[in-house]
Chain A
Amino acid sequence: MAEPENNHSVEAILATFKGEQGYLLPILHKVQHVFGYVDKNSVEKIADHVGMSSSQVYGVMTFYADFRTEAPGKNVVSVCDGPACYARGMERVKRVVEHRLGIKGGETTVDGVFTMDLLPCNGTCEHAPMLRVNDVTYRRVKASEVTKILAEWK
């Protein structure tokens, strides 16, 4: 996820969008999709393209929870933060994730192996409590299973 695709550059992405502020979010999405995050250099290039200042772009970008300003860890552990997951014991599951990784939502471990994200409810509440590591979904997770799940991704 964090690996940049070689055949893409920020310039190449920008060339596919009109230089209007209305395209700022689609541009940010695309840059993050390709590079895993939006770094300072990209912010400047994007700002030039849409005719805003870097600080304005940065202001917009940091308003939205989904845009990363730093590279995520090797594995992203996403803990669903919705009410159905809450009702079915997610707080206890979350405590194990936090304890084992030594981080809270939005943080990355010092060794760069794990980033922990709090996931907004995506409505797959049948599977609550739901945990995701990268693209793998773990359904109806119990607190006693978390240690093993994390060990799979070291």
Chain B
Amino acid sequence: MKDFDAIKSSAENLWQKFTGPEARTRILVGMGTCGIAAGADKTFDAIKAELNRHKIDAGLVRTGCIGFCSVEPLVEVVSPNGQSVTYGRVTADKVATLVSDVLVGGNPNHELAVWKSTSDNPKLGNIPDMAQVPFFKPQKRELLRRCGIIDPENIDHAIANGAYSAFAKAFSSMKPEEVIEEVKKSNLKGRGGAYYPTGMKWEQCRAARGYPKYIVCNADEGVPGAFVDRAFLEGDPHAVIEGMLIAAFAVGSDSGYIYIRAEYPLGASRFATALAQARERGLLGKNILGSDFSFDIEIRRGAGSYVCGESSAQMSSIEGQRGMPRLKRPRSVERGLWGKPTSLNNVETFANVPLIIANGAAWYLSIGTGASNGTKIFSVSGNITYTGVVEVPFGATLRTVIEGACGGVPDGGTLKAIQPDGSLGTVILPTLLDTPICLDIFRKSGAKVGSGALVVFDDNTCVVDLMRFCLRFAVTESCGRCTVCRVGSQRLLDIANRMAAGQGMETDFQDIDAIASVMFELSHCGLGQGASDPMTSTIKLFREEYEAHVKEGRCPAKICPDLIEYKVVESKCTSCGDCESACPAAAIVNEDKPKIVDADCIRCGACKEVCPDGAISIENAARVATKAGVLAGSKH
């Protein structure tokens, strides 16, 4: 593979100029969507302006997200001597100080420093090593190794750090069948959530008759709370392109698509740049690396439909149709996109492939546990101290991820429940925190590892209200093809709404079971089959909380708006009037002491937020309890 060797050595030369002993100081700003939302774009501009002002010659680079969203904007400063310190929460207003301390003065700024990547400098004092920072300590960053380190819009950065080497190896020294065999041996399973063996899918697609064959990358990541794939699209798109290339070579495809959800405009734009650069280097397009192998990738954008994350729906969407799933016979490896054999894999799955080819299946099998190999990336959000993207080997525990890396529930709250697969996933209890993350073990506990969205809820959560949220999502996103899903999810939502209003009935529990089982049996796709999972799982785990709503018309967490009342605690109130001016509904009248007019109150809690004396309390509403009692007793 002469051609690739030349590409690689030229990339390595450029990287050496950028990072080697003769390099200028370089400044890396984490600019994923999350960093930009935290103000990283303004930070970037401010750094540029300060560098100009001080006439400092430094390399200023945008990277993707390193995963530690909570301390963004993140700025890494690497001196020519290799000393590297990463600073956190660097908003634009802190840039002048940072630049004058670090770049003009040559001293680290201890106040903003989060970690260092080099040691042996007494000036750095007690700034911890990256590997010792609790967020990174339990991680094994194999897939995310380049995210936050390289400029995603510079293909040389990626190539110098290993991108396309695995493809070059496969292409020059392996037969397609051998590639498939290696992926099969590695036990790689689809990371989109279904965990179907990737090698088997490729083998079936290769064996299927038909031309052309398509490779589709599912970057729809519609599971609410999932932002794993975004890390690749924005931080290391070449890892995905390389995985798709290897798949195309193995399957015998010359045409690929990546379906990127509408909510990821930055990811789509960086991916488009990466595609253009790969074409320019002859790594994509006609006659790749001068051979007779051709493969190119087109980007398709989603348009706000969750169900288009389902493979057959996604193919319909690419074809320009309504994105409705179909029954799985024939399977898409035989008849997929435009009726042709198609292998559809998820972003994270493709990102695994180069590692397997480069290091071998044996290496891959050495990571993980039992039937689950390799690493898994989780996006952790909700009531959590550190929101972020965490990569751990299979076999690590949820406690490692939630408490170890992400710092557990903030503000002294208690962990109440975890939803490991987003809003349509089974809810689990903290008792599973020490269970190793492994497909088999999770399945035995009635949970799913899923796509990697870990949503954490504290004790300030009402499960009935949470079900209203989850089921609203199911109702909105049901494509409507299967009656049981379209009507069933609406019926479940109706029940949750009634329960939340204190008008649930004892018979509701049987109805829920009946509806759930029909939806599971008769829905075409996972959305309908799983839409009742959050509800059936929480009824098992939090039965008494449901019963408090149904039997007593009481919401124990004091969340359900119809079952609570905001009240002024007169003994604590100093009549400052803050609540009155904060109330968006003009529901507070202030005569001698403020009083909340319940009929006008919209239960937004603005008064409680602003009260300096803690004089607003939430009470269970007595009137509804009676009403619900009558209703619950009157039925049947």
Q: Chain A: residues with CB nearer than 8 A to chain B?
A: 20-26, 28-29, 50, 59-60, 63-67, 81-84, 86-89, 91-93, 95-96, 99-100, 119-128, 130, 137, 139, 142-144, 146-147
State whether the Cβ of B446 lies closer than 8 Å to any Cβ in chain A.
no
State whether the Cβ of B479 lies closer than 8 Å to any Cβ in chain A.
yes
Q: Give the nearest-CB partner of A121 in chain B.
A: B224
State whether the Cβ of B585 lies closer than 8 Å to any Cβ in chain A.
yes
Q: Which chain B residues border A82 with CB–CB below 8 Å?
A: 224-225, 381, 423
Given contacts A63-B305, A63-B323, contact A122 B38 (CB under 8 A): no
In B57-113, which residues have CB < 8 Å from any A CB?
69-70, 72
Min CB distance B496 to A, Å, is 13
In B426-474, which residues have CB < 8 Å from any A CB?
453, 455-458, 461, 465-466, 469, 473
Q: In the complex, what distance in Å separates the CA atom of A77 from the CA atom of B262?
A: 17
Would you call A86 and B303 a contact (CB within 8 A)? no
Would you call A65 and B382 a contact (CB within 8 A)? no
| Chain B interface size range | 35 or more
State whether the Cβ of B121 lies closer than 8 Å to any Cβ in chain A.
no
Q: In the complex, what distance in Å separates the CA atom of A5 from the CA atom of B379?
A: 39
Min CB distance B32 to A, Å, is 9
Contact of A87 (CB < 8 Å), options: B301, B302, B455: B455
Q: Which chain A residues border B263 with CB–CB below 8 Å?
A: 119-123
Q: In the complex, what distance in Å separates the CA atom of A50 from the CA atom of B612?
A: 62
Dominant SS at the A interface? Answer: helix
Q: In the complex, what distance in Å separates the CA atom of A99 from the CA atom of B37?
A: 26
Q: Give the nearest-CB partner of B469 in chain A.
A: A86
Q: Give the nearest-CB partner of B458 in chain A.
A: A87
Q: In the complex, what distance in Å separates the CA atom of A151 from the CA atom of B20?
A: 52
Would you call A92 and B603 a contact (CB within 8 A)? yes
Contact of B383 (CB < 8 Å), options: A24, A65, A87: A87
Q: In the complex, what distance in Å separates the CA atom of A23 from the CA atom of B301?
A: 11
Contact of B604 (CB < 8 Å), options: A21, A59, A96: A96
Q: In the complex, what distance in Å separates the CA atom of A128 from the CA atom of B318?
A: 32
17 contacts across the A-B interface (CB closer than 8 A): A21-B319, A22-B320, A24-B320, A59-B322, A63-B322, A66-B303, A66-B304, A82-B381, A83-B422, A84-B225, A122-B33, A123-B225, A123-B379, A125-B225, A143-B606, A144-B609, A146-B584
Q: In the complex, what distance in Å separates the CA atom of A10 from the CA atom of B387?
A: 43
Would you call B584 and A96 a contact (CB within 8 A)? yes
Q: Chain B: residues with CB nearer than 8 A to chain A?
A: 33-34, 37-38, 69-70, 72, 221-222, 224-227, 230, 261-264, 300-306, 317-324, 338, 379, 381-383, 387-388, 419, 422-423, 453, 455-458, 461, 465-466, 469, 473, 476, 479, 559, 561, 582, 584-585, 602-607, 609-610
Q: Give the nearest-CB partner of B585 in chain A.
A: A99
Min CB distance B431 to A, Å, is 20
Q: In the complex, what distance in Å separates the CA atom of A128 from the CA atom of B387?
A: 10
Q: Which chain B residues border A123 with CB–CB below 8 Å?
A: 33-34, 221, 225-227, 230, 263, 379
Q: In the complex, what distance in Å separates the CA atom of A87 from the CA atom of B38?
A: 20
Q: Which chain A residues border B453 with CB–CB below 8 Å?
A: 83
Q: Which chain A residues border B461 with CB–CB below 8 Å?
A: 87
Min CB distance B440 to A, Å, is 26
Contact of A127 (CB < 8 Å), options: B37, B457, B582: B37
Given contacts A65-B305, A123-B227, contact A95 B604 (CB under 8 A): yes
Q: Give the nearest-CB partner of A52 in chain B.
A: B320
Q: Which chain A residues border B322 with CB–CB below 8 Å?
A: 59-60, 63
Given contacts A25-B303, A126-B387, contact A64 B323 (CB under 8 A): yes
Min CB distance B64 to A, Å, is 13
Q: In the complex, what distance in Å separates the CA atom of A87 from the CA atom of B473?
A: 15
Q: Give the nearest-CB partner of A138 in chain B.
A: B37
Given contacts A86-B466, A92-B604, contact A64 B305 (CB under 8 A): yes
Given contacts A26-B301, A121-B225, A144-B606, contact A130 B381 (CB under 8 A): no
Min CB distance A150 to B, Å, is 9
Q: In the complex, what distance in Å separates the CA atom of A1 from the CA atom of B221?
A: 26
Would you call B225 and A21 a contact (CB within 8 A)? no
Q: Which chain A residues border B33 with CB–CB below 8 Å?
A: 122-124
Min CB distance A2 to B, Å, is 18
